Amino acid sequence: MKDAYAKAGVDIAAKNISNRLVGEVLNKTFRQEVVGGAGFFGGMYEFKGYKNPVLVSSTDSVGTKTKIAIALGRYDTVGIDIVNHCVNDIFTSGAAPIFFLDYIGIGKLVPEKVATIVEGLANACAEVGCVLIGGETAELADVYSGDDYDLAGFVVGAIEKDRIIDGSSIKSGDAVLGLPSNGLHTNGYSLARKILGDTRQALNKSYDELGGTVGKALLEPHICYYNQIKPLLGYIKGMAHITGGGLIDNVPRTLPDGLAVRFDSKKWDVPPIFSLIQRLGNVDRDEMYHVYNMGVGMVIICAPEDVKSITGQLPEIKIIGEVQKQSGEARIIID
């Protein structure tokens, strides 16, 4: 039987077209350290420029934010999301991103759609000097139905061993600063979809407090903090990327035992999308702070005497809390 594989749900011709389009995008991010080019079985990178390097890696997915993108027919933002999420994760140690790989699992492979996703990946990588060195697109009609797809990413970075930021020098009295998020970033979309809906009609609904549609607010790309913070690493004792679990679960990951952080929630602005979710879903305040970043995308901890040096170069950063000795079980207190 001719074209049996295509009839079974895998179109090799479409795969080849997709690979060609994706290869053109990948090549735009390549640097001299890349050995060979796109299309080989493994991406090769000549590692140099470090005396005693430590490799730092992270992997994640966009999660059900893809459901919002699918409903609105948008393919240009989710690639940005996954790169920025992963880069932020490894950057909490001070590591610089070196190269990135992606995985797209999709029900029906449409080369132009895949190329648009990868274009977003490449643009985000270029912003931080990271090579998009390779990836995989798998057509899985028996797993993903209709326009469904999944997007995951994997980043590798490096840092000199004696410059690793691990939070070990944090002590009581240190200042806690926060950089703003622009919304959900890539976490909490299952709850948001349940409350706000994920049909095109629901996502095109406008609310005065949003100044636009629900879909626009939910598709705001995850902010990358690398370029903003990189010049200030010498002042920083610890960092926490505020993703799933919010301040409550993520900040303790950089704190030494016996320490806690008290936050003053009046010190930063909460984007209106969170207030809308809380109001329409009647969600408890504590749960909102456990599910969402609530307006804080990255937390920085530094000595009190270094606050002015940081805020002087980053006007958008705000003092939002203080490290204190732990009293009781709670390590995060949000007033």
Is 176 a residue whose pLDDT tops 60?
Answer: yes
- DSSP assignment letter at 181: P
Whether residue 169 lies inside any domain: the answer is no
Do 9 and 138 lie in one domain? The reply is yes
- Model confidence at 112, in pLDDT bands (50, 70, 90)? confident
pLDDT of the residue at 1: 47
Neighbours of 243 (CB within 10 A): 20
3-class DSSP state of 130: coil
Q: Which amino acid is at 107?
A: G
Do 40 and 135 lie in one domain? The reply is yes
Find, among 165, 267, 180, 187, the residue nearest to 223 by Cα: 180
Whether residue 206 lies inside any domain: the answer is yes
* Chain segment 278-320, per-residue pLDDT in tens: 999 999 999 999 999 999 999 999 999 999 999 999 999 999 9
Whether residue 292 lies inside any domain: the answer is yes
Mean pLDDT of 163-185: 96
Task: Report residue 36 as tokens.
Answer: 């060979």
Q: Which of 134, 163, 192 is the last residue of a domain?
A: 163
- Which domain range does residue 190 map to? 175-334
Mean pLDDT of 26-36: 63
pLDDT of the residue at 137: 87
Do 257 and 309 lie in one domain? The reply is yes
> Domain containing 15 — which CATH number?
3.30.1330.10
> Domain containing 292 — which CATH number?
3.90.650.10
Do 140 and 233 lie in one domain? The reply is no
Whether residue 170 lies inside any domain: the answer is no
* Chain segment 52-111, per-residue pLDDT in tens: 999 999 999 999 999 999 999 999 999 999 999 999 999 999 999 999 999 999 888 888
Do 18 and 68 lie in one domain? The reply is yes
Do 256 and 112 lie in one domain? The reply is no
Q: Which amino acid is at 259?
A: L
Q: Into how many domains does the chain fold?
A: 2
SS (H, E, C) 163-189: HCCCCCCCCCCCEEEEEECCCCCCCCH
* Chain segment 221-263, per-residue pLDDT in tens: 999 999 999 999 999 999 999 999 999 999 999 999 999 999 9
Do 194 and 325 lie in one domain? The reply is yes
pTM score:
0.89
Do 270 and 308 lie in one domain? The reply is yes
Do 139 and 196 lie in one domain? The reply is no
Do 231 and 130 lie in one domain? The reply is no
Q: Which of 101, 130, 163 is the last residue of a domain?
A: 163
Q: Which of 106, 141, 163 is the last residue of a domain?
A: 163
Whether residue 35 lies inside any domain: the answer is yes
Average of per-residue pLDDT values in the chain: 89
* Chain segment 253-262, per-residue pLDDT in tens: 999 999 999 9
C-alpha span between 203 and 216 (Å, rounded): 8
Mean pLDDT of 122-142: 90
Least confident of 54-63, 140-149, 192-201: 140-149
Is 180 a residue whose pLDDT tops 60?
Answer: yes
Is 7 a residue whose pLDDT tops 70?
Answer: no
Least confident of 32-36, 135-139, 157-161: 32-36
Task: Report residue 45 as tokens.
Answer: 């990178």
Q: Is the sign of the CA dihedral 206, 211, 213, 217 positive or negative?
A: negative
Is 31 a residue whose pLDDT tops 80?
Answer: no
Task: Report residue 335 as tokens.
Answer: 């007033």
Do 115 and 179 lie in one domain? The reply is no
Do 180 and 139 lie in one domain? The reply is no
Most confident segment among 7-21, 46-60, 190-204: 190-204
